[in-house]
Amino acid sequence: MSRVNRIAAIAVVVGAMTLATTGISSASAPSRAPQQAKGGEITFGLEAESTNYCLTGAQLAASGIQVVKAVYDTLTVPNSKGEAVPYLAKSVKPNADFTVWTIGLREGVTFHDGTPVDAAAIKANLDSYYGAPDAPNVGSLIPIVLGFVQSVAVTDPLTVTVTLKTPVSTFPAYLYLTGRMGIMAPAQLNSGDACKTNLIGSGPFKVSSIRQNEATVVTANPNYWQKGYPKAAQITFIPVTEGAARTNQLQGGQLDMMHTSSATQIAALKNIGNINALTQKPGYREINYSVLVQSKGATAKVFGNETVGADARKAYNTALDRKKINQIQNRGTFTLANGLMDTKAPGYLKNAGYPKYNPKKAKALVAKVKAGNDGAFDIVLGTTTDAENSKLAQQVQEQLDKVGITATIAQFDQATLINKAISGDIDVLFWRNLHGGYSFSSDPDNYPWWSNYNTASGGKNAINFAHFNDPDTQAALDKGRTETTPAQAKATYTAYNKAFAKGNFITPMWYVNWTIGSQKSVKVALPALPDGAGKPLFVYGVLPVIGLSKK
Amino acid sequence: MELTKLIARRAVQLVIVLLFVSFFTFLLVRLLPGDPTDIIIPFGTEAKKAQLRADLGLGQPLYQQYIDYLGNILQGNLGRQYSSGRPVSELVAQSLPVSIQLMIYAQLIALLFALPLGIWAAYRAGSRSDAAINTTGFALLALPNFVVALVLSYFIGARLKWLPTGGYAPGWLDPIFDGTRSTDIGGHFNYMLLPAITLALGQIAIYMRLLRSDMIATLKENFISMARAKGISNLRILWRHALRPSSLTLLTVVGLNVGALIGGAIVVEVIFGIPGMGQKITLAIFSREYIELQGYVLVVAVLFILVNFFVDFLYTILDPRIRRGRSAT
């Protein structure tokens, strides 16, 4: 071997060895939490990043709500029986006809900036949530949900009275609103645009640092009102948007915990040894569904067409082989949903009446729609950029194509997708939501979402993404929110569920098995709620974090 | 003297190109159909839309808007991310050093392997080792980044636990851009190694093949025969005489890659959770953050131009004939 040959060969070998040894010698991944304090430091992998934490206007999904759960408290929370019980509030009591609610507060509770959680702070929050005149940072969606609130008044330093326009027996559940209605310190609420990033709550953890798309670090609140909590010293929330990467990071030890609603990743978690997987039980699960958007007027689309809209929606629902889609999408591990609600919700029906898969019938309906719609049945499927959602959209597109429906896929981030649905720029919205969260009533999960698009006051219910008006469902919703016994609620919501299915406003797909994966060293405890209110409910993929700890 | 003139001329060209780039970036938001505020904040209140119109100067003539925009850029004001209200310059300061470091490591690893392999393959052109190197190069080229990223992440990170599969620790460059960060060099290299290798693998093949073909041509030149005749060792001929004139194409491609990787390592940054420009650009696109995106596009474009200006300048050092040729024209 000549000298050149030798040296060139040595260069190659040395280079390869340098690379290999750099990799091997590092032995193990550096810990993000080198110092172990009491209760430990936990890294939690989220499926998305949230940029706006001004809760009155934030459009938060499960990832954002998980962070909210650490930093903020809500006035009420759901317990394991599905009842909304007082939490940050000491009591939430109605008058005889459910039109005035009195919220009693706990003494000595403070926000992270040391200011008191008193009646003035709660009024300021509720004013901004429901959109009182001159309230700061009023959002565009929650005021629609709380459109029944007339006024909020401070009765004494620890008591707030909320007067409603109509009787609402389920008002305590609205004070939770799937974890979105955290109570912010006035310093955050009144900080203008900084409200989005200046997180000050009264929750078990306070924000130590936020680095967008990298990490949100929260540390234990030493003055937390629930003595002995939180258990963990620190939680670092890390957005890992790619599902497989999130699972790899948990397996590799970079993450202590993660959440996922992907069947593929849930299966992967269960196949990894040495990992705990906590899956939400049936009863109050979210459902995955498609909203059939009936935009009207100048941009009239096929689902809202006066003549053929009903047949078009029925054709869509008849064309989809949901079982096959579930098999490909979720390996058949998720349970198909046949209505809006899960098994423990009032009004749940094994079969609410949605049409069964029947391609022949679908083709006939498509032909009928085309005959009445200038020969066209073209729709836009709106979804997020997530790989799983893309896969779902492609399967739906393929099945629709087989019966003669031309579908194109449009992908957006979640907030933009919501805006597209609101503005009616898409025909189908691939979505998931909780529509039967509480055993006593399905009101807070249904009333705001599915009340008529055209409101009685002449406005628009923008979060009715399907844009429909239906007297039967509206009547049931109006009646349901005033029911005061579980039996009455069940009867009313059963009628509602049937009427909803009859309109084919959505296509129910399957229940979502939110799962939390965690290292064996992490203890996922759900401590009892204060005042003997029972155990907290793990719902919507959002885990109560006060009991988390790491050895 | 000729070098000074050359630099001055190139600097003038650079300023003109930068003005063009800034103008086209400026048009990004202004060319949105209808009222741009309806696109940027479709459900913002009228007051917020009015504020945005004022911020963008939409009521003013286009030339005035551009002058204001340019003035803001020169003062480091790239606008605000709508959803969070954070200044875009702050987001750039957080993400740009991350991408620059990743790009540097990827290029270093790529060159560390590509140079000896390319030289060896050229020197032994037609041999079995040349064929083996070429075949391996083709295989590496054929592997998409995301496949390499996921495979490395799974085997090296999740299964073997040798390196972290995701995350980031600040390196030597981060504190310079963002004073709130402190360096964690050990953690930094641990987090960056897998993504850097992922990016480097494809580059190794490209660089190696480019160098090989240029080197083969150079080795046929008269001055190489002359050097051999003088009894100069093969090693010296290859590294001192042949490499320099053979590396112009390689340098051009490295320059282009450097610019592209600053904003273009999207897949790798997403899979490995690297909070760099690629990840930020992706999120800005999907969330329709036009002002934020405008800022990133401008920064990446300016860096791309500056890097290639620098590469252009390097030509003249590597090959004095180019300097003389350009001076003469």
A7, pLDDT greater than 60: no
Which residue shows structure tokens 């392997």?
A: B113
The answer to whether the CB atoms of A3 and B81 lie below 8 A apart is: no
pLDDT of residue A20: 36
- Looking at beta carbons, which pairs linking B86-90 to residues 24 or more positions away fall under 8 Å? B86/A51, B86/A197, B86/A212, B88/B291, B88/B292, B88/B295, B88/B296, B89/B295
Over residues B150-204, the pLDDT tens digits come to: 888 888 888 888 999 888 999 999 999 988 888 999 999 999 999 999 999 988 9
SS3 label, residue B191: helix
The answer to whether the CB atoms of A413 and B109 lie below 8 A apart is: no
Question: Across residues B253-276, what is the average pLDDT?
Answer: 83
Over residues B287-298, the pLDDT tens digits come to: 778 888 889 989
When the pLDDT of each residue in chain A is averaged and rounded to a whole number, the result is 88
Q: Name the most confidently modeled range: A93-97, A177-181, B66-70.
A: A93-97
SS3 label, residue A304: helix
Residues of A in contact with B94 (CB under 8 A): 211-212, 214
Taking CA atoms, A22 is separated from B158, B195, B268, in Å, by 17, 14, 20
Question: Across residues A14-41, what is the average pLDDT?
Answer: 44
Mutate to test the interface with B, among A5, A52, A211, A389 (most CBs of B within 10 A): A211
The answer to whether the CB atoms of B197 and A415 lie below 8 A apart is: no
Does B146 touch chain A if contact means CB atoms closer than 8 Å? Answer: no
The answer to whether the CB atoms of B287 and A413 lie below 8 A apart is: yes
Among A284-293, A312-321, A395-404, B77-86, name the one with the lowest average pLDDT: B77-86
Question: Which amino acid, A105?
Answer: L
The torsion region of residue A537 among left (phi > 0), alpha (psi -120 to 50) and beta comes to beta
A549 backbone dihedrals φ, ψ, rounded to 5°: -155, 165
Q: How far apart are CA A372 and CA A302, in angstroms?
A: 10
Burial label for B230, CB within 10 Å (0-12, 13-18, 19+), is exposed
The dihedral through the CA atoms of B83, B84, B88, B94 has a sign that is negative
Res. A387 pLDDT band, cuts 50 70 90: confident
pLDDT of residue B43: 61
Dihedral angle over CA of A332, A333, A337, A341, nearest 10: -170
The answer to whether the CB atoms of A3 and B233 lie below 8 A apart is: yes
Dihedral angle over CA of A211, A212, A214, A216, nearest 10: 60
pLDDT of residue B288: 73
Which class would CATH give A24-28+38-246+514-537?
A: alpha beta
pLDDT of residue B42: 64
How close is the nearest chain B Cα to the Cα of A246, in Å? 8
The residue ranking higher by pLDDT, B135 or A439, is B135
For A432, the enclosing helix (H) or strand (E) is: strand A428-433
Res. A357 pLDDT band, cuts 50 70 90: very high
Question: Across residues A150-156, what is the average pLDDT?
Answer: 97
CATH architecture for residues A287-511? Roll (3.10)
For A47, the enclosing helix (H) or strand (E) is: none
Q: How far apart are CA A151 and CA B297, in angstroms?
A: 47
Does B153 touch chain A if contact means CB atoms closer than 8 Å? Answer: yes
Q: How far apart are CA B61 and CA A122, in angstroms?
A: 47
B210, pLDDT greater than 80: yes
Among B95, B167, B268, B192, which Cα is nearest to A240's? Answer: B167
A45, pLDDT greater than 50: yes
Question: Across residues B321-325, what is the average pLDDT?
Answer: 64
A444, pLDDT greater than 60: yes
Q: Domain map of chain A by residue range?
A: 24-28+38-246+514-537, 287-511
The answer to whether the CB atoms of B43 and A419 lie below 8 A apart is: yes
Question: Across residues A158-163, what is the average pLDDT?
Answer: 98
Question: Across residues A464-470, what is the average pLDDT?
Answer: 93
The answer to whether residues A542 and A179 touch, using CB atoms and an 8 Å cutoff, is yes
Q: How far apart are CA A532 and CA A530, in angstroms?
A: 6
What percent of chain A clears pLDDT 90, i.e. is strictly above it?
A: 60
Residue A356 CB partners (closer than 8 Å, separation 6+): A318
SS3 label, residue A296: coil
Does B155 touch chain A if contact means CB atoms closer than 8 Å? Answer: no
pLDDT of residue A299: 54
Taking CA atoms, B150 is separated from A386, B106, B136, B156, in Å, by 16, 17, 20, 10
Which of A197, A252, A412 shows the shortest C-beta gap to B85?
A197
The answer to whether the CB atoms of B280 and A213 lie below 8 A apart is: yes
B93, pLDDT greater than 90: yes
A2, pLDDT greater than 70: no
For A364, the enclosing helix (H) or strand (E) is: helix A359-371
Which string of DSSP letters, residue by residue, matches A109-139? -B-TTS-B--HHHHHHHHHHHHT-TT-TT--
Nearest 5°: the CA angle A516, A179, A147 is 150
A27, pLDDT greater than 50: no
Which of B112, B163, B164 shows the shortest C-beta gap to A15?
B112
pLDDT of residue A5: 45
pLDDT of residue A245: 86
Residues of B in contact with A416 (CB under 8 A): 286-288
The answer to whether the CB atoms of A213 and B238 lie below 8 A apart is: no
Other CB atoms within 10 A of residue B224 CB: 17
Which of B91, B120, B164 shows the shortest C-beta gap to A252?
B164
Res. B326 pLDDT band, cuts 50 70 90: low
For A469, the enclosing helix (H) or strand (E) is: none
The answer to whether the CB atoms of B94 and A249 lie below 8 A apart is: no
Which of B91, B109, B270 shows the shortest C-beta gap to A212?
B91
Q: Find, in chain B, the residue whose alpha carbon is nearest to that of A30.
A: B187
pLDDT of residue A22: 35
Q: How far apart are CA A202 and CA A113, in angstroms?
A: 9
Res. A424 pLDDT band, cuts 50 70 90: confident
Over residues A177-208, the pLDDT tens digits come to: 889 999 999 999 999 989 999 999 999 999 99
Q: How far apart are CA B293 and CA B283, in angstroms?
A: 9
The answer to whether the CB atoms of A245 and B286 lie below 8 A apart is: no
The answer to whether residues A280 and A541 touch, using CB atoms and an 8 Å cutoff, is yes
For B61, the enclosing helix (H) or strand (E) is: none
Selected residues 64-123 of chain B with any CB under 8 Å from a CB in chain A: 80-81, 83-86, 91, 94-95, 109, 112-113, 116-117, 119-120, 123
Residues of A in contact with B163 (CB under 8 A): 23, 26, 29
When the pLDDT of each residue in chain B is averaged and rounded to a whole number, the result is 85
Does B185 touch chain A if contact means CB atoms closer than 8 Å? Answer: no
Q: Find, in chain A, the residue whose alpha carbon is nearest to that of B129.
A: A9
pLDDT of residue A461: 84
Q: How far apart are CA A541 and CA B176, in angstroms?
A: 39
pLDDT of residue A297: 52
Res. A551 pLDDT band, cuts 50 70 90: confident
Which string of DSSP letters, residue by residue, matches B85-113? --BHHHHHHHHHHHHHHHHHHHHHHHHHH
pLDDT of residue A382: 92
How close is the nearest chain B Cα to the Cα of A306, in Å? 27
Mutate to test the interface with A, among B45, B49, B84, B233 (most CBs of A within 10 A): B84
Question: Across residues A60-82, what is the average pLDDT?
Answer: 92
Over residues A250-267, the pLDDT tens digits come to: 998 889 999 998 888 998
B286, pLDDT greater than 50: yes
A418, pLDDT greater than 80: no
Among A190, A181, A220, which Cα is nearest to A73's? Answer: A181
B324, pLDDT greater than 80: no
Q: How far apart are CA B74 and CA B58, in angstroms?
A: 20
pTM here?
Answer: 0.81
Residues of A in contact with B184 (CB under 8 A): 30
